[in-house]
Chains A and B, each alone.
Chain A
């Protein structure tokens, strides 16, 4: 499978715990995007990378959110001290020049 891969697919965590999600992009795609999506809404931009450089982080994101893309390959998104409002689908997409393709997403439930 050469598509975008996200792990885990589902995560249930207790409020206050830290969680980390992983995204493996399509090979040789230099751009990688993270989005958050809640029911009835479109994907909300979180951050994106060109290779290992983080180009922008949404001003809506608190300091509890951090993302990395070491060596310009896979990326991780960490949420510290999770809150119930963090419950959402977290989507990763990668692109080369033009179109972006999404992974299956990670559904986070904070209880």
Chain B
């Protein structure tokens, strides 16, 4: 199993709907988890971090962590065309090494 896995997409969501992005991780990645947004040709931008089981909300974004099932998700409410990007899931191991998934491409359809 890869350390951090994501479906590469593309995921197409109508404008105004909820976009749901998922990520699973292995036992080697068990500490903190992050979601980054990356526009084409740009560097990743941190949008959410989550460290404990449950939900964490920040504006239109909600991150969810389930350590028992080893998955992390990101929900984007009221999706906007500007949300179209690649979303990278990342996790830290016990040595603070940050490992990324391949990213999920999200298309918001006007």
Instruction: Please indicate whether A and B come from the same complex rather than being unrelated chains.
Output: yes
Interface residues of A (CB under 8 A from B): 31, 33, 35, 40-45, 48, 50, 55-56, 89, 91, 93, 95, 98-105
Q: Indicate if B62 sits at the interface (CB-CB under 8 A).
A: no
- The B interface is mostly helix, strand or loop, or mixed, namely loop
CA distance A36 to B96 in the complex (A): 18
Q: Indicate if B45 sits at the interface (CB-CB under 8 A).
A: yes
CA distance A14 to B106 in the complex (A): 36
Which residue of chain A lies nearest to B3 when distances are taken between CB atoms in the complex?
A45
Cross-chain pair count, CB within 8 angstroms: 55
The reply to whether A100 and B34 contact each other, CB–CB distance below 8 Å, is: yes
The reply to whether A55 and B46 contact each other, CB–CB distance below 8 Å, is: no
Minimum C-beta distance from B55 to chain A (A): 18
Q: Which residues of chain A come closer than 8 Å to B72, judged between CB atoms?
A: none
How many B residues touch A, CB cutoff 8 Å?
A: 22
Chain B 21-53 against A: per-residue CB contact (8 Å), 1 yes, 0 no? 000000000001010100000111110010100
- Sample of 11 A–B contacts (CB below 8 Å): A40-B8, A42-B6, A42-B100, A93-B98, A98-B51, A99-B34, A100-B46, A100-B98, A101-B46, A102-B45, A105-B42
